[in-house]
Amino acid sequence: MVSPTASPASSPGIVPGYLLARLAESGRFPQAATAARRTLQTGRPPLRARIDLSIDDTGSLVATLSDAPDRTISDAQNTETLPGTVVRTEDDPPVADVAVNEAFDGLGATFELLLAAFQRRSVDDAGAALQATVHYGVDYDNAFWDGERMVFGDGDGEVFRGFTGSLSVIGHELGHGVVQYTAGLEYRGQSGALNESIADVLGALTEQFTAGETAESASWLIGAGIFTEAVQGVALRSMIAPGTAYDDDELGRDPQPAHMRDFVVTTEDEGGVHINSGIPNRAFALAARELGGFAWERAGVVWYRALTGPLSSTASFVDFADATVSAAEQEYGVDSEVASAVRAAWTTVGVYEDERDRRTG
């Protein structure tokens, strides 16, 4: 039985609840089925939103800004107790545990992307320490942001590998932290799908920035390498081609739509937040490819400006599309190739009916 606070729908994580639910019934992957059931039952702790500030000796509020990451990695030792035992801090050298080092490096890579591309100091733009816990639970098939830290499962070894091995996964989950401290997009329906999509954008950009990949040469995959060789699939999601990331006899086919005509209306997955995120995902990837060069330099700036602008927490796809067009026009000019590429991308995925279209409802 899945607890009321840890249902597949209400447990945001890199692996959608619908995929874990499908896996839980698998006969082909018995070990993974057991792990998926355990993961669904475990869920994740309730979301916490807290900013840690300190008071100095004079009673003044202190927030220290830093241009260098402050990372702490803890080990849950296969329990579900957070944060776990501290095993590596910022000034420590690499340790023998690969997952610890991967988490440490991934947090650093995301920090560098945020700083270099958007001049953002950590997820809260105030130099917040970056914390992560590895080896969470037993065969835990997910990774998630709990409001103040990254948490990684080891996977079941049959279908999923350890989640620290994917830089796009780490960037994605920290991306939820950025959303939390900016627009705070409500995790349901279209605003929830935008929450997931923006996290995917930041995950993809972190991977591309670290590898020095252009928008054209990038794979645009989220979670590449997370599946074992036993699964017919390359990743959890494809931003450039939603619906093509996996097609497996046991797990089914990637359900993400690439166009508004295929928008999925459902009460599951918090109204399809992991499913319908494919539509804005594709819009970003198309805009970035059309503009060429590095995706974080122009398309990324536009999406970031939209996220940090006057955006409602219940924004629809049209609301966000309008925000990106406004950001592009303000940053690069009304008739710029950037604004044109952004409008065209939202038209291609069906959010706009015409390239000149721009709505507010």
Query: Per-residue pLDDT for 53 more than 80?
Result: no
Structure tokens at 352: 């706009």
What is the pLDDT, as a whole number, of residue 6? 33
- Classify residue 57: in a domain, yes or no: no
- Classify residue 250: in a domain, yes or no: yes
- Cis status, amide bond into 83, omega within 30 of 0: yes
- Classify residue 59: in a domain, yes or no: no
pLDDT in tens, 109-168: 999 999 999 999 999 999 999 999 999 999 999 999 999 899 999 999 999 999 999 999
- Classify residue 11: in a domain, yes or no: no
Whole-number Å distance between alpha carbons of 321 and 360:
9
Domain with 160, as residue range(s), is: 17-45+64-348
Residue/partner pairs of 223-226 with CB below 8 Å, 24 or more apart: 223/14, 223/166, 223/168, 223/169, 224/166, 224/168, 225/161, 225/165, 225/166, 226/14, 226/155, 226/160, 226/161, 226/163, 226/165, 226/166, 226/169
Query: Per-residue pLDDT for 4 more than 60?
Result: no
- Classify residue 9: in a domain, yes or no: no
pLDDT in tens, 60-88: 544 444 478 899 999 999 999 999 999 99
- Confidence tier at 357 by pLDDT (50, 70, 90): low
- Confidence tier at 281 by pLDDT (50, 70, 90): very high
Spot the catalytic one: 173, 196, 270, 329: 173
Whole-number Å distance between alpha carbons of 20 and 33:
8
Q: What's the average model confidence in pLDDT over 333-339?
A: 96
- Classify residue 158: in a domain, yes or no: yes
Establish whether 274 is a catalytic residue: yes
What is the pLDDT, as a whole number, of residue 139? 95
Q: On the CB side of 55, how many CA atoms lie within 13 Å of its CA? A: 2
* Domain CATH code at residue 21: 1.10.390.10
pLDDT in tens, 75-122: 999 999 999 999 999 999 999 999 999 999 999 999 999 999 999 999
- Classify residue 176: in a domain, yes or no: yes
- Classify residue 359: in a domain, yes or no: no
Q: What's the average model confidence in pLDDT over 269-291?
A: 97
Query: Could you give the number of structural domains in the chain?
Result: 1
Whole-number Å distance between alpha carbons of 356 and 177:
33
Which residue is associated with the tokens 């508004």? Answer: 260
Establish whether 173 is a catalytic residue: yes
C-beta separation of 281 from 239 below 8 A: yes
For the ranges 29-43, 83-97, 347-361, the maximum mean pLDDT occurs at 83-97
What is the pLDDT, as a whole number, of residue 292? 97
Spot the catalytic one: 135, 172, 176, 274: 274
This prediction's pTM:
0.86
What is the pLDDT, as a whole number, of residue 59? 57
Structure tokens at 343: 């409008």
Residues 6 or more apart whose CB falls under 8 angstroms from that of 119 comprise: none
Whole-number Å distance between alpha carbons of 314 and 322:
14
Closest CA to 200 of 135, 276, 311: 276
Structure tokens at 223: 């979670």
